[in-house]
Structure 1
Amino acid sequence: MSEYFGQLTERMSRFREEVLRAKPKVCAERAVYTTESYKQNLDKPVILKRACMLENVLKKMSIFIEKDTLIVGNQASENRAAPIFPEYAMDWVIKELDEFEKREGDIFYITEETKRQLREIAPFWQHNTTKERGLAAMPPASKVFYDLGIIKAEGNITSGDAHIAVDYGRLMKYGLKDYRQRTLAMMDSLDLTDFKNLKKLYFYQAILLVIDATSAFAKRYADLAISMAEREEDSVRAAELREIARILIKVPYEPADSFYEAIQSMWLVHLVLQIESNGHSLSYGRMDQYLYPYYKKDMDAGIITEESAVELLSNLWIKTLTVNKIRSWSHTQFSAGSPLYQNVTIGGQTVDKKDAVNPLSYLILRSVAQTKLPQPNLTVRYHAGLDDRFMKECIEVVKIGFGMPAFNNDEIIIPSFLEKGVKEEDAYNYSAIGCVEVAVPGKWGYRCTGMSFLNFPKSLLIAMNNGVDPKSGLKVAAGVGHFKDMETFDDLQKAWDVLIRDVTRHSVIIENACDMVLEEDVPDVLCSALSEDCIGRGKTLKEGGAIYDFISGLQVGIANLADSLAAIKKCVYEEKTVGREELWNALMNNFAGPDGERVQNLLLAAPKYGNDDDYVDLLVTEAYRSYIDEVVKYPNTRFGRGPIGGTRYAGTSSISANVGQGLGTMATPDGRKAYTPLAEGCSPTHAMDKNGPTAVFKSAAKLPTKEITGGVLLNQKVTPQVLEKEADKMKLVALLRTFFNRLKGFHVQYNVVSRDTLIDAQKHPEKHRDLIVRVAGYSAFFNVLSKTTQDDIIERTEHLV
């Protein structure tokens, strides 16, 4: 922990230790109760079937109140246990039951009884899951891209959507009671002779069910707290339990009146949203804005102190870590470290364009620093008027070395939103969602990013091979000829343009197939009810209920594409040190033998992205333009159904997909060997950025950032020593201001950890249990990562500020 920010209270320190000691397990309860409910409600419309499912789970699942907690609510039968969501997918669950404990990373423990329960319900879900219907919905010509790993969208059809923040401020202010009353009013106004209103009726009935179920869930904890208080010998703890009961009898159904009530209300609903649908990147939004009135009121009245407020926030972060998610092994490689990406945003500007930093912003920083956990994911919204005092405080958190906070830039994100039709007051109220993606809390649809992962380097190889995937030998696109016959670099650029536009179209088809099945199969009732204006429109989020609905896929291996194009241009077409056939053969043979090594060395010596070299930077900007120009042509499935937008844009927040997609990609013309990780986000390839952090910033800023609204993820790594002196911290502040103000960078985040520490942690994990690293747009415990992902982080370039 950081001495600068003080220490956790004794009870929170105990609670943190208890949660960290909890083994990640597999919990069958939700799967069993979901199956039971689905069987009992086969005749109901799907939206009511989903509501009945959630009601059944919340009514029957195990609940408990930990000894040291002040905030209550659990996702599964034990902390850090991961529920199974059988309606999305069961094939991989059954296939991997005996492998969960043997994984290289992201290990989950499972009992024989849990295996028995899951095997028992599995037959009901055979050919009856979202994954199976999603795969069946993909046209064969597009599905081949999915099967070959060129376009991956597994997470879309094996779990819920999320990538969203609901309006927790509105929930606290009005309570679920207000949503219930609005729903009743809308339901009473329906003319049921219009068949379209029947569907709205079912949606409204479902909302009433889940609101009542959530309220009953809260009261289960209230009853438990009362019974525990009656048995509690410690009078102080007994009083705390009675207060917990009082609060949960009130919230989240009624409005919150205090800081404590507001946090408990938010947490319980946040938890139910995770139980309803386990889509990750369910985020908290601008917490320092909507919680501040409660904090100020209680401070002014003497009800709380800074210390007690920090303790409640720390308690919330520990509870946030208790939520867990198990993924298939193939999906795990794209999300190493079991991340939930539950993002908290602070700072930024108010809707009247003033600095939004307030005293609670500082307390959130302090509490996150004290707790030092990979959850929540903390983001600071930067703007030109952010004062140095707050910036320095942020750097003190960065210095602790657990990858937080990340910085997103108002100076580019807000204008990007305004250009896309987002109202000014909403654009100024955006928050980070998940990793680095951004949206307006409570008004944005699902998947502001993360629709699919498109492998740029693999696509380049196919473009060079006349539309044939060189690894499988399958013809996947028309192609314009083989690289051996491309006499000019322009020929290669044209081949890339044709191929990537075709691949982009197939990515859209795959995404639409996933969205269509998710809309029909697994509508989320509570999440829709808490998002504007689903109640007013009588539509779920997938049907077009949100005010705004923009989405993006994620493009993986941007730096590899840049370096590959530069190497080909330089070595093959300009200096002619490598022949076209010679290069192709070297790629197919993974640079084997003396000739292959010679070719690889020449490719590695070519200009590299990340060094402020227009020769390479502008090549990738032009190549990326082909994708961007193509993807904006295709609306999403909600276009014309209510929301503003309904369109697509680009995104680079590739999480750890660079590792997973690298494992399926042959050698590439940048000199990268086959089946090794690709570059992550828009960060340079490891060890290829030789000219320091300023040069990296300049290279990244040449990307068409304003059009990559899905997030421009930039990871930087520095050694702890470079932030020891006050002058060095101010250098980093100045560097950030230059990147954001002058260069209009979108995002940056820092790993502050030495290479030696990481290597020692790999060799002696028991000595580094609390070591947290920034993986991509999120942090994770280093020890839970696979060795491949650990190696990828170790190899990142270390910069001096």
Structure 2
Amino acid sequence: MIEKGFTKPTDRVMRLKSQIIHARPYVESERAVLATEAYKATEGLPAILRRAKVAEKIFNELPVTIRDDELIVGAITKNPRSTEICPEFSFDWVEAEFDTMATRVADPFEIPKETAAELHEAFKYWPGKTTQALAASYMSKKAHDCMANGVFTVGNYYFGGVGHVCVDYGKILKIGFRGVIEQAIKLLECLDEKDPGFIKKKQFYNAVVISYNAAINFAHRYAAKAEELARQESNPSRKAELEQIAKNCRRVPENPATTFWEACQTMWFVQCMLQIESSGHSISPGRFDQYMDPYLQADKSISREFAQELVDCIWIKLNDVNKTRDEVSAQAFAGYAVFQNLCVGGQTEDGLDATNDMSYMCMEAVAHVKLPAPSFSIRVWQGTPDEFLFRAAEVVRLGLGVPAVYNDEVIIPALQNRGVSLADARDYGIVGCVEPQAIHRTEGWHDAAFFNVAKVLEITMNNGRVGDTQLGPKTGEMTDWKSLDDFYAAFQAQMTFFVKYLAEADNCVDLAHAERAPLPFLSAMVDDCMGRGKSVQEGGAIYNFTGPQAFGVADTGDSVYAMKKFVFDEKKVSMADLKDALDANFGVALGESAQTSGGGTPSEEEVYAAVRKVLSTNSSVDVATLKDEVYRTLAAKDTPQSGSSKYDGIRRLMDSAECFGNDDDEVDLIARKCARIYCLEVEKYTNPRGGQFQAGIYPVSANVLFGKDVGALPDGRLAKKPLSDGVSPRQGKDAKGPTAAANSVAKLDHFIASNGTLYNQKFLPAALAGDQGLQNFASLVRSYFDHKGMHVQFNVIDRQTLLDAQKNPDAHKDLVVRVAGYSAQFVVLAKEVQDDIISRTEQTF
């Protein structure tokens, strides 16, 4: 037997989970008020020392909260799953949403009136002083215009802290915060006053000392709180727990961890304090099994059951972290996503298998907690044990959308191609959605921008125009194209133009963070900031990148192929008629739903009619062929459609073309070419930290939001409909089964998309049932990775369950699904994001 099953979580874990599931997210004001007071008191000091004083003020005065039942303590907010505000990055959007944040479509937060009043008072200090204001002042009008017209957005770091980093948790476990302070003092004493960088380095090391002394005090305040609660506690068992928590917090993270419980507490304090310093999302725990397993093995006094409960408690704490964004960004990151990616498995720096006991305990924690965080990932290579992959498959079929699976055989050489050493590349972790990095050595600026490839396609078809505005260069009207080469020349020119302004906008935000928000606490845990005497924001990391990500690749590839097939090759439609049809949205008024799979969901009657038609000619057809033939029947140009117009035939014709996702070389290689045009253009640029731009292809959930900025496309997609997510085929178009779809995705050049690619598959639960289901899953992953795919992740759920959750959300609060590079409670997602997940193809073997 392959199946092992999972043990039951403890009652404590279930009570802690209940606090998270039923929490109402609030915006709190304490951090904003404390940061503002610190900034007011430090005007005239260098930025790095001001930031240290901000950390000192917050660590010393932020309210201390220990929740009922906790074994691992440390909280960012008083209320569960709530958020603080960081006005030093941006603030005006918060004030603008005081009255609407509680009722907005995506990720609502309550803002009590007294909180709003406190924030309003704090915000009076900030006009003109934020990183956003500085970045905006650096950007050209054209860069602003590109963002305003939906070509790209740099909103992630424009409005908030950077994050997207994995620090050296192992370093703190070994030497403690006191060891970092001693290291900084030693480096201070060794500084050469004749060195032209002497002043800046001195400021940095002093900032580290200030920050880490305050961080030690933060832990000691929790020790005092635990002692206070222990004195009041009447339950002997809980009293003993609180007393031990107090002892742990007195010892760590100031000093090296000596027990597994202390190691867990140390890890969490680091994670918590990083969030407090800057609220950057995607602060990722990295290779948790590699730095935690030695403490598990060394602790001979702890039972396996209690060790598992401690790991489960860390999982709960990771779900307590939350973040609010502006209304538009909230739609792009729908589901209260914080992207704390935790990775297990893979290889050691020496190229040996890294799987250990903790790798399996992490999978057990996922099964116990069943919450969206952390973004749980596994690394797979040729030496990965089958047992590990089968166990991962058991986790997958729980239906939580995790683990995401990453291919060492692609990622390691992709990182080496960017200048990362072999040992460091083998030690990669995943941060954020799907972004690989050499852990605790990298300032990757992953997720630096969303770039809408489909929007560039639309602009190309309009000779550089968006509406009546000449946004891009004039590259010729599409009606003048004589061949596909003419299209590619125009598309390349538009891509060159818009990527240039993407790089400009990203670099403006990068400069603003270096000038106004260097982070000394975080930087001391990233190599080699201590050796170089500078923060990560100023180029202190060993590896420096900027990683903007694209989406809409499949839409673009399918559109180009449809033009090639029906306009240039078969000449069934003229380019002029296609242009008129696109301008008219194929005759469908905005807001209407299309009744074929190209732009909307067909009615049940249409589907049943198509099934009956196929089965009438072949009653023994297999499932994959049935799906394919039903799709073709629905898409056939002679199928009647209510509300038909003169453009129906054109749309049905274009929609009937072969699509990316069915292992068809001709269309797949066109998608590959379109993606490469973007990726190769991106890597021409460098950033202010001396690093290279590298492209990624993943959307978060921006494919839904930014689909609203894209008009009708030649593949039959209607205006404003969602775009394809990541490197996945368009929803419902991968009709020939999971292996064919995976083969198509593998044909993209994942090696040059080194900032990460994202591939979603959705399976019916029955497909993974029993030992055979686990074996089929493992075979699919191995085959896809043998074809050089980088990443894949799975939803295992049926359509009816999702539809029922839409109608009865209170009955499905614990339903977790994979959105994009993260999982979320399905019922908290905006309906249009839910609909996008529902529309994905349900695969089976």
- Smaller-chain TM-score range? over 0.9
The reply to whether residue 751 of structure 1 matches residue 795 of structure 2 is: yes
The reply to whether residue 469 of structure 1 matches residue 466 of structure 2 is: yes
SS in 2 for 1:255: coil
CA distance in 2, matches of 1:136, 1:544: 22
The reply to whether residue 232 of structure 1 matches residue 237 of structure 2 is: no
CA distance in 1, matches of 2:259, 2:425: 28
CA distance in 2, matches of 1:40, 1:336: 37
How many residues are matched?
787
The reply to whether residue 376 of structure 1 matches residue 374 of structure 2 is: yes
Between 416-425 and 250-259, the greater mean CA deviation after superposition: 416-425
1:763 aligned to which of 807, 824, 828: 807
CA contact (8 A) 2:444 2:543 kept: no
- Residue 818 of structure 2 corresponds to 774
1:787 aligned to which of 820, 826, 831: 831
CA distance in 2, matches of 1:13, 1:287: 23
- Residue 458 of structure 1 corresponds to 455
- Residue 704 of structure 1 corresponds to 749
CA distance in 1, matches of 2:744, 2:115: 51
CA contact (8 A) 1:467 1:478 kept: yes
CA distance in 1, matches of 2:511, 2:443: 14
CA distance in 2, matches of 1:34, 1:446: 26
Give the C-alpha shift of residue 193 in structure 1: 5.0
The 5 A counterparts of 1:274-673 are 274-298=275-299, 301=300, 303-447=301-445, 449-470=446-467, 473-592=468-587, 594-639=645-690, 646-673=691-718
User: Residues 323-381 of structure 1, C-alpha deviation per residue, up to 9 Å, x if partnerless?
Assistant: 11000011112111011111111010112222111111111111111111100111000
CA distance in 1, matches of 2:783, 2:750: 16
SS in 2 for 1:415: helix
TM-score by length of 1: 0.97
TM-score by length of 2: 0.92
CA distance in 1, matches of 2:348, 2:195: 43
Q: 1:75 to 1:3 in 2, by over 3 A?
A: farther
CA distance in 2, matches of 1:624, 1:790: 27
User: Residues 223-247 of structure 1, C-alpha deviation per residue, up to 9 Å, x if partnerless?
Assistant: 1111111111112211111111111
Which amino acid is 1:426 matched to? D
CA distance in 2, matches of 1:351, 1:175: 24
CA contact (8 A) 1:306 1:363 kept: no
- Residue 216 of structure 1 corresponds to 217
SS in 1 for 2:460: helix
CA contact (8 A) 1:29 1:77 kept: no
Which 5+ residue runs of structure 1 have no aligned equivalent? 640-645
Give the C-alpha shift of residue 420 in structure 1: 2.4
- Residue 24 of structure 1 corresponds to 25
SS in 2 for 1:285: coil
Give the C-alpha shift of residue 629 in structure 1: 2.3
CA distance in 2, matches of 1:151, 1:207: 36
CA contact (8 A) 2:106 2:331 kept: no
CA contact (8 A) 2:257 2:263 kept: yes
Give the C-alpha shift of residue 660 in structure 1: 1.3
User: Residues 670-706 of structure 1, C-alpha deviation per residue, up to 9 Å, x if partnerless?
Assistant: 1111111111110000011111111111111111111
User: Residues 209-236 of structure 1, C-alpha deviation per residue, up to 9 Å, x if partnerless?
Assistant: 1100100000000011111111111122
User: Residues 693-722 of structure 1, C-alpha deviation per residue, up to 9 Å, x if partnerless?
Assistant: 111111111111111111110000001111
CA distance in 1, matches of 2:160, 2:385: 41
Which amino acid is 1:469 matched to? V
Which amino acid is 2:54 matched to? M
CA contact (8 A) 2:335 2:829 kept: yes
CA distance in 2, matches of 1:650, 1:780: 25
Cα RMSD (Å):
1.3
- Residue 724 of structure 1 corresponds to 769
CA contact (8 A) 2:150 2:455 kept: no
SS in 1 for 2:443: coil
CA distance in 2, matches of 1:37, 1:544: 25
CA contact (8 A) 1:61 1:77 kept: no
Give the C-alpha shift of residue 612 in structure 1: 0.9
Give the C-alpha shift of residue 194 in structure 1: 4.5
Which amino acid is 2:813 matched to? R
Which 5+ residue runs of structure 2 have no aligned equivalent? 588-643
The reply to whether residue 266 of structure 1 matches residue 267 of structure 2 is: yes
Give the C-alpha shift of residue 3 in structure 1: 9.8
SS in 2 for 1:107: coil
- Residue 167 of structure 1 corresponds to 168
CA distance in 1, matches of 2:14, 2:754: 39
The 5 A counterparts of 1:190-205 are 190-205=191-206
CA distance in 1, matches of 2:388, 2:804: 34
CA contact (8 A) 1:176 1:253 kept: yes
CA distance in 2, matches of 1:711, 1:125: 35
CA distance in 2, matches of 1:757, 1:746: 30
